[in-house]
Chains A and B, each alone.
Chain A
Amino acid sequence: MAADRFNINRSWEHLQNKYVGTGHPDLTKHEWLTNQHRDTYATHLGHHDQLAYIAVAQNDAVGRVRYQLLEKMLQPCGPPPAAKDDEDD
C-alpha cells in the first residue's frame, strides 16, 4: 500500500523483529492462536492479580502457577501442523 511508507507497516520484517506477535495476510490459524496463547500467558504473568486469581481457583501456589504458565509458552497449542502446511504449498 502506498501509504505504508509513512506508518508502522513500513517494513514487515522490521516490524516482526520488534513485535513477534504481529501478523500478516498469510498467517495460519495455528500460528495466530499460538501468538494469542503466548500473549495471554504473558499478560497473566505480567499482572500479579491475574496470577493470584488463577492460583486461588486452581488451589495452587502462585509460583507454581507462574511456572506452569511459563512451561505452557512452549508450543501452547501443540505441535505445528507440518504435513498439512506442505500440502497447502
Chain B
Amino acid sequence: MDEEIRALQSARQGLEKGMNGDALEAEEERAPLNKIAFDQDLYTRDRFQGFSTELVEEDEDGGNGNSAGAKRESSGDVGSAREGMHPSTKEAYRQRGRDLETLGEDGSDRELLRSLRESEGSGRLDTVIAHRESDYHKRARAVRQLSPSRGDMLSDQTPMRSYGKVLEQQQLANEREELLRRIEKQKKDAEDKAQAESLAAEAKALEMAAAVDKEEGAGAVKKRKRWDANGGQEKDGSGTSAGDWDLSDATPAMIISDATPGVGGRNRWDVETPMRGSAADATPTPGGSGRRNRWGETPKTVDASDATPGPSGMSGVTPTPSGRTKKNRWDQTPLTQSGQVAVGTTPLIGATPLVGATPVGSALAQFGQTPAPGAAGGLYGPASSSVTPEQEQRLKWERELEERNRFQTDEEIEAIFKLVPGFKVLEPPTNYQPDRTGRGVFATPTPMTAGGGFQIQSTPAREEYGIPATPSEGNLPFIAPEDEKYFKDLLEAVDEEALPASELKKRRIMRLLLKIKKGTPPQRKTALRQITDKAREFGAEALFDQILPLLMSPTLEDQERHLLVKVIDRVLYKLDDLIRPYVHKILVVIEPLLIDEDYYARVEGREIISNLAKAAGLATMIATMRPDIDNLDEYVRNTTARAFAVVASALGIPSLLPFLKAVCLSKKSWQARHTGIKIIQQVAILMGCAVLPHLRQMVEIIEHGLVDENQKVRTITALALAALAEAAFPYGIESFDSVLRPLWKGIRQHRGKGLAAFLKAIGFIIPLMDANYANYYTKEVMVILIREFTSPDEEMKKIVLKVVKQCVATEGVPVPYVKEDVLPPFFQNFWTQRLAMDRRNYRQVVETTVELANKVGAAEIVGRIVDDLKDTKEDYRRMVMETIEKVVTNLGAADVDPRLEERLLDGLLYAFQEQVNEETSVMLNGFGTVINALGTRCKPYLQQIAFTIKFRLNNKNAKVRMQAADLIGRIAVVMKQCGEDQIMGHLGQVLFEYLGEEYPEVLGSILGALKAIVNVIGMNKMTPPIKELLPRLTPILKNRHEKVQENCIDLVGRIADRGAEHVPSKEWMRICFELLEMLKAHKKAIRRAAVNTFGYIAKAVGPSEVLHTLLRNLRVQERQNRVCTTVAIAIVAETCNPFTVLPALMNEYRVPELNVQNGVLKALSFMFEYIGEMAKDYIYAVVPLLEDALMDRDLVHRQTAATTVKHLALGCAGLGCEDALVHLLNLVWPNIFEVSPHVINAVFEAIGGLVVALGPTKVFHYVLQGLYHPARKVREVYWKIYNTLYIFGTDALTPAYPRIEDEGIHTFRRTTLEIFI
C-alpha cells in the first residue's frame, strides 16, 4: 500500500518536475538560477545534500534552439526528495519519470539481470552508469577523449608534449569549432532561404548538381564526407561531420539566382512530386528539428535503362520515386534472413560505384563508423565477414535446395520432349515480357558441384554453444563479452616465460585489473594490494594505459567505477610525482564524477582530484588545466571549473588566487573570464565558511564581472557573489561593499535571466547586513521584486520568492512596510490555485509565506488564507493547510481571535472531510498542530471533531480509517485538557471494536490511538477496562507487521508498567512467551520495547515464574531464540535484583549441555552489563563458575566467559575486588594466543576491562614477560597488548617500566625517577 502511494507520488513529482519530454527541455532552459548553490554537508548534518545544486547555471548557447547542453538539476529544492538515494534505485528512476518497463527492452539478459537485482533486494535496478546518464553527462565520452600524455614539465627532460603545444592545439580546436559553428549558422540561413523558395527549388536542382560537380573537381578527398553530410549530423551532433558539404550548401542559393530553369534535367526525372533542392538541406523533415534522418529520406534509385546520371548528379539531387519505380535496394531479398546486414544485390552492382558504396556505408554507419569510400569494391566484404556459422549453414542449405529445385533448361526439356511425337515449340506472344528481375526463369543454374550430399560437420566451436570465452588461466574471473576488448590478451594461453618484459608487465596488470573489476571480494582485495605495492615497479604509463580506457568504457557499472577509482587513488599515492604526465588523462576520466548524480561518486571524484593535486603539485595542475579553461565546449569548462575548485580546496585558496585573478581578467576570451569566475563560485560552494579569510580578495577578483560586456559573465558573476555570500553568512559584509553599488544598479538595468541572477546575489547579501543597511537596501530592491511578482517566468518567480524570504527575514525590515506594501501584491500574485499545481512553486510559496508570518505574525497571514481552506481545489487546500500548520508551529495560535478561530476550525473540518487524495499527512499534521496550539479553546468543537473521526473510522477506504485513528493519537492530550473524558472513553470503546482491523497499517494506527487515550486517561478510568483490553492484545502480538508490533508492544508495556494488577498473572505469562519472539525483531524500537516490557512483567508477576520458563527455553535448539532468552533473563535479573535470579541460573550451569551452559554464561554477561556496579556483591559468587568456564575445552565457553569477565571487571572497577579480578586475569591470560577472531576479540576486551579495573601497571607486568620473547609470533601478540595498554595509560606506565642499566654511550637509566628527598 505504502509502496503504491509512494510510487504515485513520485510519479506525479516526476511529472511536475518536468523530467520528461518537452517539459524537461522547457524546464532546463530556465533551470539555472533558482537554487542555493551551497555545500550544505559542510555545515549541516544532512550529508546527502548535493555537492552542488546545479550543473549548468546558464544556457550556454543562448538563443540557439538546438543547444546541446541539456541541463539537469541534481538537487536543491527540486531534487531534494531524490537525494540520499542512489540514482540507480527504483525510486530514482520513477522520480526521473522514466518508464521502468523500457529499461530492459534492448536485451533479454538485461531483463534477467534486472529481475535478479530486484529479487536480491539491493533496490538497484540498472547499475550501468551510461544508461542513466543525461545527454549532458554523456558528453563526458562524446566530447572528451584521453589526450596524449604530456611531459613532466618539472623534470629536466623535455616534455613529450609541452604546455605551449597543448595550448596551440587547444586554440586550433577552438578555432575549428568556431568555424564549424559559423558554417552551421550559414547553412541555417541558407536553409531558411531554401525553404522559402522550395517551389522554385525543383527547377534549380540541376544547377546545383552542376555546382557540386565543380566543387567536387576541387578535391577528391572531400567526396567521403558527402555521404555523411547527407544525413546531417545524425549520429552525435558533435559537428564533426559538417564537412565541406555544408560549405557547398551555401552555393545553391547563389547559383539559384542565375539558374536557367529546366535545363535538360527536368524531364529526366518524373515530376509528380516536387524536386528537393538538396538531399541534405532542403528536405523538410517532419520534426522540423535540426536533425535529419537519413533513413527517412527517399532512397535513391537509379534505373538501369536510364543514362547513368554520374556521380555528381547522384550526390546532389535526390531523385524522387517515379511512376515506374524499379525495385530499390531496400526492397530486395536480403541474402540472409537474419537481417543483420541487409545488403542487397542491385542489378546495378558495380555499375556506379556510388550505389554500391552507399549501402555498405550505411550498413556500417549503424555501427558508428565512417563509411569508407573504398568499401565499394567489396560489396560482399563486410557482409560476408560478419556471417555467423549458423547463417553460413543456412546459406549452404538454401543453395542446395535451389540446386535441386532449379528450373529445367531448354536443353533438358527438349531432350525429354524429343521422345514425344508432335512436339512443337511455340512462339511466345508479342506482348510477353520475360521477368528478368528476379531469380526466376533465367537464373543461371549453379553447377551441381556446389553442394549436396552428406558433409561431416566440423566440431562446433565454443561460441556456437554460447559459451563465453574464459581466461586462459584457472582462477581468473569470468570476462564479460563487453569487457573482452580490454582483456582479450588474457583469453589466449601464452608461455609467459617467453614474453618480453613489457608484455609480461602488461599482462600482469591486466590480470590484476580483471580481478579488481570482476573478481570475488578476496580476489579483489589481494589484487588491489598487489597493484598498490607494485605501482612504482609497473610505472605510471603501463598502469594508466589500461586503467583509463576501462573507466571510459560505456558499459561501466557503479561498483566497477568505484573500484577502478579506488585503484587510481591507491596508485596515485604510490606513484607520487611520476603521475605528472598523466594528470590530464586522469582528469578527463575523473572530472565527470564531479557532476555525477550520485553523491558518493561526487565525493570520490573530489577525493581523487584532491590527491592528484597534492601529488602533482600546483604548477602541474595549473599548466594541465589551463588550456581547458577557455575551451569552447561548455561541458569541458564546467567540469574544469569544478576540478579547479577541488584543487583550491586541496592546496589552499591563497595559492590559487593569483592565477584566478589573471584568468578572471583575461582579455582574450570571455570564456576564460567566465570559467575563472565560475571557479570562485565553485570554491565557495565547496569550501563554505573556509572562504572567509580570502573573501575580500575573491570578491575583488570577480567584481569587474558585474559590468562585463558579456551577459553570461555578468550572470555568473552575480551567481558567484551569491555563493560567496551564502558561504560567508553571517560574516563578511565588509568584503561585499564594493559590489553593492553595481549590484543594485544592475537590478535596474537588467531584465530576465541577468536580473534573476542579480536578485539572487542580493538575496544572499542582505542577510549579512546589519539592520540599518538591510532596511535601506531592502527597500531599494523591494520595488523591483514587487514589480517582478507579476512576471510570467517560472524561474523568476522562484528567485523572487526566495529573495523576498531572505529580505523579510532580516531585522531591518519594518513590519508596517511589509504589511502595507508587500503582503497585498504577494497574496494577489502568489496565492492562486494555479501555483498550487506546481510542486516546486508550491514549496517556495509556502516557505516564503511562513517567513512573512514570522515577520508580521500568525493572525495576519492565517486570516488572509484561512477562507481558502474551503476552496474547491484540493491541491490548493493542501497548500493552505501546510502553510497554516507551519505558521502555527512556529508562532502558536495565541494571537488568533475568536472569530478567526471559528473560521479556522470551520475550514479545518471542511478540508479534513473533503479530502480525497491519498496523500494524507499534510491534512493530518495541520489538523493536529492547530488543535494542539489552540488547546482548551477547542472545547466547543471537540464534539464535532469526534463525530467526524468516528464517521471516518467507519470509512471503506483504509487510508481514511488510518488517518482518523492517527488524528485521535494527535489530539488525545487536548481532549484531556478540555476535560472531555467522556468523548475519549467513547472513542476508546469505538477503537476497541475496530481491533479486528485487517489492514496492518490501520491496525497499527488504531493501537497507537488506544495507547494515546490510555496514556492520558489513566489505567483505572480506561474504557474498555484493561482486563478486557489486554486479552484482545495478546493475539495481536503475533502480528508480524512492524507498525503493529511496535504500537502493540508499546501499549502492552504501558499497561504492564502502570496497570499490571488489572490483569491476572496467567495472562502476563502468556504475553511473556509472545514477547520472546519479539526480542529478535528487526526494528530496534521493537526490541527495546519488548525488553522493557519484560522487565515490567517480571516485576508485576514475580521473577520465579518467568525465570522458570526462560531457563527451560535455554534448551531449545534455535540459537536466535536462546540469545533472546538470555537477554530476557538478564533483564529480569536487573529489574528484580540479581539475587532472585542468580541461584537458579548458576544451578542451571550444572546441566551438562553446551547450549545451556553457554546460555547461562551469556545471561551472566548481559546481566553484569546491565547491573554495573551492583556486580561487586556478586563477583565472589560467580568466580568459581567463571573459573570453570575459562578452563573449559570449548572455545565458546571461554569466549563468553571472557565477555562476562569484561563486564564484571568494568562493573567492579575501583570497588576493591582486585583479588578476584587478578584471579580472573590469571585465567584469561593464557587465551591470548587464540586465533579465532571472536574468541581473541573477547579475550582482548576482557584484558581491556581488567586494565581499567586493575590499572595498567598490573597488566604491564604480565606483558613484560613476552615483549622480547624469542618467537616473533609471541612478540606480536604481546606488543599488541602493550599498545593497548600504552594508549590507555601512557602516564601510568612510566613508573612501571623496568630499570635498565646504561650501556656505553647509551644512557638507559631514567634518573629522574631515582630522585629521593
Contacts and interface: CB of A to CB of B under 8 A. Distances in A.
Nearest to B1238: A3
Contact of A79 (B1235, B1294, B1305): B1305
A1 to B, nearest CB: 7
A74 B1277 CA distance: 30
Contacts of B1293: 39
8 contacts: A6-B1241, A7-B1244, A8-B1284, A15-B1283, A19-B1283, A22-B1286, A36-B1297, A58-B1315
B1307 interface: yes
Contacts of B1240: 1-3
What are the 4 closest A-B residue pairs judged by CB atoms, nearest first? A25-B1275, A3-B1237, A3-B1240, A2-B1237
Given A8-B1283, A56-B1317, A43 B1276 contact: no
B773 to A, nearest CB: 48
Contacts of B1236: 2
B1241 A25 contact: no
Contacts of A56: 1317
Contacts of B1276: 1, 25
A46 to B, nearest CB: 7
A53 interface: yes
B1312 A33 contact: no
A25 B1306 contact: no
B1313 interface: yes
A57 B1317 contact: yes
B525 to A, nearest CB: 12
Contact of A19 (B1279, B1286, B1300, B1317): B1286
B1280 A21 contact: no
Interface string B1293-1305: 1100100100001
A24 B1268 CA distance: 10
Given A3-B1244, A54-B1312, A22 B1287 contact: yes
Contacts of B432: none
A36 B1294 contact: yes
Contacts of B1238: 3
A6 B1282 contact: no
Given A9-B1283, A23-B1279, A57 B1306 contact: no
Nearest to A41: B1312
A77 B1286 contact: no
B1300 to A, nearest CB: 6
Contacts of A47: 1291
B423 interface: no
A43 B1308 CA distance: 17
Interface in A58-89: 58, 69, 76-79, 81
A2 B1235 contact: yes
Interface string A10-31: 0000010001011111010110
Nearest to B1304: A78
Nearest to A76: B1307
A14 to B, nearest CB: 12
Most buried by A among B1237, B1280, B1305, B1317: B1280
A23 to B, nearest CB: 5
Nearest to A5: B1237
Given A7-B1241, A40-B1312, A1 B1277 contact: yes
A70 B1029 CA distance: 75
Given A3-B1241, A36-B1310, A23 B1283 contact: yes
Nearest to B1287: A19
B553 to A, nearest CB: 33
Contacts of A15: 1283
Given A23-B1282, A25-B1272, A53 B1315 contact: yes
A9 to B, nearest CB: 5
A38 B1284 CA distance: 18
Contacts of A23: 1267, 1279, 1282-1283, 1286
B1316 A57 contact: yes
Interface string B1259-1279: 000000001100010011101
Contacts of A9: 1280, 1283-1284
Contact of B1306 (A6, A7, A8, A77): A77
Contacts of A4: 1280
A46 B1291 CA distance: 9
Given A40-B1310, A44-B1312, 9 more contacts: A2-B1237, A4-B1280, A7-B1241, A40-B1294, A40-B1297, A43-B1291, A46-B1291, A76-B1307, A79-B1305
Contacts of A19: 1283, 1286-1287
A44 B694 CA distance: 42
Chain A interface main SS type:
helix
A74 B1309 CA distance: 15
Contacts of B1307: 76-78
A57 B1317 CA distance: 6
Contacts of A27: 1279
A62 B1028 CA distance: 79
B408 interface: no
Contacts of B337: none
Contacts of A40: 1294, 1297, 1310, 1312-1313
Contact of A25 (B1279, B1291, B1308, B1315): B1279
Nearest to A72: B1312
Contacts of A44: 1312
A37 B1235 contact: no
B1294 A43 contact: yes
Interface in B1222-1259: 1235-1238, 1240-1241, 1244
A40 B1313 CA distance: 9
B446 interface: no
A55 B1290 CA distance: 23
B909 to A, nearest CB: 59
Nearest to B1283: A22
A27 B1269 CA distance: 12
A30 B1306 contact: yes
B1280 A1 contact: yes
A21 B1290 contact: yes
Nearest to A8: B1284
Nearest to A30: B1306
Contacts of A43: 1290-1291, 1294
A81 to B, nearest CB: 7
A3 B1284 CA distance: 14
B1310 A81 contact: no
Nearest to B1290: A39
Contacts of A2: 1235-1237, 1240
A29 B1298 CA distance: 12
A33 B1308 contact: yes
Contacts of B1291: 39, 43, 46-47
A53 B1276 CA distance: 38
A77 B1290 CA distance: 19
A51 B1276 CA distance: 36
Contacts of B1315: 53-54, 57-58
Nearest to A36: B1297
A2 B1240 CA distance: 9
Contacts of B1297: 36, 40
A81 B1305 CA distance: 10
Nearest to B1284: A8
A9 B1285 CA distance: 12
A36 B1310 CA distance: 9
B1247 to A, nearest CB: 11
Contacts of B1237: 2-3, 5-6
Nearest to B1317: A57
Nearest to A16: B1283
B1294 A39 contact: yes
Contacts of A22: 1282-1283, 1286-1287
Nearest to A44: B1312
Contacts of B1275: 25
A7 B1288 CA distance: 13
A53 B1287 contact: no
A37 B1287 CA distance: 16
Contacts of B1235: 1-2
